[in-house]
Chain A
């Protein structure tokens, strides 16, 4: 980290009559970014906190009135919201652990490989950088009953009635989770591989000389040293999965019969289909508060560095 820039000795005459203290100079440099953050982040959030406490329908602004926490009470009791919350939690807690395990396995395999590692790493960069909208479209095509590759192969293998991946319940939610896994495993691979490669070889050599079995070395050397990377990866990807919108929007539109509804999509519909901004803002704040807990944990982890 760059240490505090102390006032450097300067040639006489270099000082202008008015010399801005370093702290003020630093603050001024952040002003343009700060202004944007206030306009597109702080102010909208305060405004949405305000609307969440009001009856606020966009079509009838004249009827706006303060109702306290009524929107929050209403949304928490709404069975559609509860289903969206359950689906979101299933989504996160099924997808992320699987992504982590497969990702760790692949990262360990990649760490063993020296020749060709760069090529594999390069190829694995691609799936995760695609727009989620394209990833979703791609898989909608793969899942398609008549034209999709998956059911075509299943029929070739003798399955008479292969599943309708995106229209059967409860399968549809897991089909979306599979797409999430496909897109995110490479992220875990890259993160965990970076962590693995930063562990000094000497630790492994010392452990091997001491007669540690590969499993013991993995448990007592690799895992503890990898722990910070694992925590950061799980938290960040967990929170990203919690915000899921694009995949659901394109793959199922929440269907069939809202069985694959998730929180972001629920809030989106409440605002732009039902036009109920008050209720939608309350929902958005509930999502944000849940994410805030994850965020504060993340900050504690990062503080060791910053």
Chain B
């Protein structure tokens, strides 16, 4: 086995290790921090890790890019299908991330905070037991106009 082949084999392992590492790092960033933008960035890390994993699945040592010239492959090529899948997954991921950030902006607008736990508490207060009869829960009267708006659009 030549050095180049050994290196190519090792590259496959590095890809898998890197992919799993990115996914774990992303999971940590989604679970532990409370800042919404950090959570969204954690999601980005998970998606990148999964995409890298998918590319690694199609990796073969010493193979060329799957570009066929004149319909003929010159030597061994890496599996093109995972690459096509990753392309789709990246596009979907970008769309979802953009939507997530747009929602983060709206959440900051309406709740005035980017702390995920505070947002959850405010939501519980707004949709809680008191929304039909505000007089039972003083201080939560602001919940009612929002609820009316919601019913209006149902």
Whether chains A and B associate is no
Q: Using CB atoms and an 8 Å cutoff, list the residues of chain B in contact with chain A.
A: none
**B-binding residues in A (CB < 8 A):** none
